[in-house]
Amino acid sequence: MPESIAEAVARRRTFAIISHPDAGKTTLTEKLLLFGGAIQLAGEVKAKKDKIQTRSDWMKIERERGISVVTSVMTFEYGDHVFNLLDTPGHEDFADDTYRTLTAVDAAVMVIDAAKGIEPRTLKLFEVCRLRDIPIVTFVNKMDREARNPFEILDEVEEKLALDTAPMTWPIGQGKSFAGTYHLSRNAVRGSDSETDLTQVNGPEAALAAGRLPENERETFIEEASLAIEACRPFNLEAFREGHLTPVYFGSALRNYGVRDLIEALGSFAPQPRAQVADVRTVEATDDKMTAFVFKIQANMDPNHRDRIAFVRVCSGKLERGMKARLSRTGKPMGLTAPQFFFASQRQIADTAFAGDVVGIPNHGTLRIGDTLTEGEELVFQGVPNFAPEILRRVRLGDAMKAKKLKEALQQMAEEGVVQLFTPEDGSPAIVGVVGALQLDVLKERLSVEYGLPVSFEMSRFSMCRWISADSKTELERFVDRHRGDIARDLDGDPVFMAADGFSLNYEAERYPDIKMVAIKEYH
Ligand code: GDP
């Protein structure tokens, strides 16, 4: 019997890992894929990244600065579940990309370095998850090294994030003597991740059988684990799903502890694909007609073919290879001839995909970030955000003959979400906007390598911009008329007001109270 849509949806878990750089996201990703059987050897994730980097020039930036700027997806199976892990760039200059990726997940794993606790970037990403009520599972990593006391870590999560915690496991020792995890409510033990099954025990003391901990550390463990059972908040599924409580797991991704606990937790209680809000209705994951939205475009995944992959999250129904979809923005049909799944070391044609799955759709510019695909229904998903850039620059081209080529290239870069492009109403040259300065470096490198366009950037007289709208069309037109030199259109043709600084922005906002000025635009 083929799997029903409801059954397929129930098996899916789509999540991202949020963390501060160096907390162990890459290592944990490798281990998850390893347990999921997606790769043979841990280390391949990095190896693959390196391979792409050496072959693709624009990624030199990434290599030089030792950061990951690439978002991608990895699909793997464990037990009965299909996991889609969406990777997010570690560097904050690519925050907009990360935020968009988080619109496509149903849960997040928050990795914390056991010695460092909550770090700035973790906090920021957590706030984004909270805005969207994304449930969070916490993984306290690096327990094999000098670590803070577990109670202290739990307190810090509660205080800094205003998030309830429920320790699910308790570390058996820490640092050199770290020897596994004790499952508080299940009264069971797992040594390293090579133990596929939990061993049932009778209380914390029994958890130390098999000489798991040096004599002088046993007392502390028994006391603390007993206290955790008595005094810590128990896990509550509803509070977790609503984003008010995080279950906490301890481990060491590098030394293979606690990762299996984590993956099993995601399977057991991370939510299955959620309903998604569209303009005309809420789409249930189990609806039988296919719907999906694009949250990311990536070029040059394979430098041998200059392809452009749109990453779509399926929201309902069954996406089948060869099907005809309707692209909501244009109303035109689009054949999905070669949708792809991504595994750690390979891509594979996706014959069928269900809600929660993320597939790559190769295209030559037809698809843009925020686009909705359906089986014909006129429907547009809400909520993929676009952030007002914090840096605005004019692009200066050495060779004026190539102006047309530059225009095309910028349009493509903007469609991929590398930069935002603003075309001033008064006919002056285009302005590019980015959220982080590194994005300008990526733009420069790609224009040079891929289009043979050496460019430099010039300050513009503007430093801020806001999308503008008004209930009354005439009000908006009046505003646009009076500020023609400060108005530009974005890629969708929506009007943007540009200002030299916050002062003049506020001044105009006060003078024209009927004009709405927003810093975040949701794609539509
Ligand atoms: P990312 O920047 O969050 O992706 O972090 P990485 O996974 O690259 O890890 C950063 C560093 O911490 C690397 O040197 C890892 O080998 C190391 N690391 C990761 N997990 C652990 C762990 O559980 N224990 C120890 N001791 N080191 C770890």
Residues 160 and 182 in one domain: yes
Residues 14 and 149 in one domain: yes
Residues 242 and 370 in one domain: no
On whether 292 is known to bind a ligand per the annotation, the reply is no
pLDDT at 151: 98
Is the shortest distance between the CB of 253 and ligand 1 below 6 Å? yes
Summary mean pLDDT of the chain: 88
| CA dist 376 → 178, 290, 325, 462 (Å) | 56, 9, 7, 42
From the CA of 111, give the closest atom in ligand 1.
Answer: 3
Residues 26 and 150 in one domain: yes
Confidence of residue 364 (pLDDT cuts 50, 70, 90): confident
Where does a domain end: 247, 269, 291?
Answer: 269
On whether 90 is known to bind a ligand per the annotation, the reply is yes
From the CA of 29, give the closest atom in ligand 1.
Answer: 7
On whether 21 is known to bind a ligand per the annotation, the reply is yes
Mutational test site, ligand 1, from 87, 111, 254, max ligand atoms within 8 Å of CB: 254
Neighbours of 197 (CB within 10 A): 8
Is the shortest distance between the CB of 67 and ligand 1 below 6 Å? no
Residues 142 and 217 in one domain: yes
Amino acid 404 reads K
Residues 292 and 247 in one domain: no
Is the shortest distance between the CB of 25 and ligand 1 below 6 Å? yes
Residues 23 and 130 in one domain: yes
Q: How far is the CA of 296 from the centre of ligand 1 (A)?
A: 27
Tell me, yes or no, whether 379 lies in a domain: no
From the CA of 23, give the closest atom in ligand 1.
Answer: 3
DSSP 198: P
Cβ atoms of residues 444 and 386 within 8 Å: no
Is the shortest distance between the CB of 45 and ligand 1 below 6 Å? no
> Could you please report the per-residue DSSP string of 107-150?
EEEEEEETTTBS-HHHHHHHHHHHHTT--EEEEEE-TTSS---H
pLDDT at 303: 55
CA angle, residues 301, 306, 309, in degrees to nearest 5: 50
Q: How far is the CA of 144 from the centre of ligand 1 (A)?
A: 11
What is the average pLDDT across 119-125? 91
Residues 464 and 438 in one domain: yes
Amino acid 373 reads L
Per-residue pLDDT tens over the stretch 196-253: 999 999 999 988 987 789 989 999 999 999 999 999 999 999 999 999 999 999 999 9
Residues 423 and 517 in one domain: yes
Tell me, yes or no, whether 290 lies in a domain: yes
From the CA of 257, give the closest atom in ligand 1.
Answer: 23
Adjacency order of strands within the sheet including 455-459: 455-459, 391-397, 431-434, 420-424, 487-489, 495-499, 464-469, 516-518
What is the average pLDDT across 404-415? 90
pLDDT at 197: 93
Residues 361 and 473 in one domain: no
How far apart, in whole angstroms, are the C-alpha atoms of residue 177 and residue 7? Answer: 43
Mutational test site, ligand 1, from 17, 20, 22, max ligand atoms within 8 Å of CB: 22
On whether 22 is known to bind a ligand per the annotation, the reply is yes
Amino acid 378 reads E
Report ipTM for this prediction.
0.99
Is the shortest distance between the CB of 122 and ligand 1 below 6 Å? no
Given a cut of 70, whether residue 461 has pLDDT beyond it is: yes
Q: What number of CA atoms fall less than 13 Å from residue 226's CA on the CB side?
A: 12
Is the shortest distance between the CB of 145 and ligand 1 below 6 Å? yes
Amino acid 344 reads A
Is the shortest distance between the CB of 26 and ligand 1 below 6 Å? yes
Given a cut of 80, whether residue 270 has pLDDT beyond it is: yes
What is the average pLDDT across 179-199? 94
Given a cut of 80, whether residue 467 has pLDDT beyond it is: yes
Given a cut of 60, whether residue 70 has pLDDT beyond it is: no
Cβ atoms of residues 111 and 24 within 8 Å: yes
Where does a domain end: 217, 236, 269?
Answer: 269
pLDDT at 33: 83
Tell me, yes or no, whether 40 lies in a domain: yes
Q: How far is the CA of 166 from the centre of ligand 1 (A)?
A: 24
State pTM to two decimals: 0.86
DSSP 278: B
On whether 243 is known to bind a ligand per the annotation, the reply is no
Tell me, yes or no, whether 76 lies in a domain: no
Tell me, yes or no, whether 157 lies in a domain: yes
On whether 95 is known to bind a ligand per the annotation, the reply is no
The CATH number of the domain where 465 resides is what? 3.30.70.3280
The CATH number of the domain where 289 resides is what? 3.40.50.300
- Identify the helix (H) or strand (E) that includes residue 32: helix 25-35
Per-residue pLDDT tens over the stretch 472-514: 999 999 999 999 999 999 998 999 999 999 999 999 999 999 9
Local structure of 316: helix, strand or coil? strand
Where does a domain end: 220, 252, 269?
Answer: 269
CA angle, residues 245, 248, 253, in degrees to nearest 5: 145
> Could you please report the per-residue DSSP string of 244-258?
SEEEEEE-BTTTTBS
Of 101-115, 220-234, 392-406, the poorest mean pLDDT is in 392-406
Cβ atoms of residues 222 and 229 within 8 Å: no
Neighbours of 40 (CB within 10 A): 11
Q: What is the extent of the structural domain holding 53?
A: 5-69+107-269
The structure tokens 């590098």 sit at 254
Per-residue pLDDT tens over the stretch 251-261: 999 999 999 99
By alpha-carbon position, which residue is closest to atom 6 of ligand 1? 24
Tell me, yes or no, whether 24 lies in a domain: yes
How far apart, in whole angstroms, are the C-alpha atoms of residue 395 and residue 413? Answer: 13
Q: How far is the CA of 354 from the centre of ligand 1 (A)?
A: 33
Q: How far is the CA of 23 from the centre of ligand 1 (A)?
A: 6
Q: How far is the CA of 24 from the centre of ligand 1 (A)?
A: 4
Tell me, yes or no, whether 90 lies in a domain: no
Residues 124 and 239 in one domain: yes
How far apart, in whole angstroms, are the C-alpha atoms of residue 469 and residue 217? Answer: 64
By alpha-carbon position, which residue is closest to atom 9 of ligand 1? 24
Residues 201 and 57 in one domain: yes
Q: Select from 410, 464, 402 the least CA-distant residue to 432.
A: 410
Cβ atoms of residues 36 and 144 within 8 Å: no
What is the average pLDDT across 327-337? 95
Is the shortest distance between the CB of 142 and ligand 1 below 6 Å? yes
Please name the residues in contact with 390: beta carbons below 8 A apart, sequence gap of 6 or more.
434, 435, 436, 464
Of 9-23, 150-164, 321-335, 405-419, the poorest mean pLDDT is in 405-419
What is the average pLDDT across 347-365? 88
From the CA of 255, give the closest atom in ligand 1.
Answer: 23
From the CA of 253, give the closest atom in ligand 1.
Answer: 23
- Count of domains in the chain? 3
| CA dist 234 → 166, 267, 295, 354, 510 (Å) | 6, 19, 36, 33, 50
Residues linked to residue 431 through DSSP beta bridges, in sequence order: 394, 422
The CA-to-CA distance between both ends of the chain, in Å, stands at 39
Given a cut of 70, whether residue 46 has pLDDT beyond it is: no
Tell me, yes or no, whether 77 lies in a domain: no
Residue predicted with more confidence, 521 or 293: 293
pLDDT at 182: 97
pLDDT at 382: 86
| CA dist 347 → 146, 341, 505 (Å) | 39, 6, 47
Cβ atoms of residues 356 and 11 within 8 Å: no
From the CA of 21, give the closest atom in ligand 1.
Answer: 2
Highest mean pLDDT among 314-318, 342-346, 351-355, 436-440: 314-318
Residue 19 CA to its chain's centroid (Å): 11
Local structure of 292: helix, strand or coil? strand
How far apart, in whole angstroms, are the C-alpha atoms of residue 92 and residue 102? Answer: 14
Q: What ranges in 208-258 are assigned the alpha helix state H?
A: 215-231, 237-241
Is the shortest distance between the CB of 68 and ligand 1 below 6 Å? no
By alpha-carbon position, which residue is closest to atom 11 of ligand 1? 22
On whether 236 is known to bind a ligand per the annotation, the reply is no
Mutational test site, ligand 1, from 18, 26, 27, max ligand atoms within 8 Å of CB: 27
Is the shortest distance between the CB of 90 and ligand 1 below 6 Å? yes
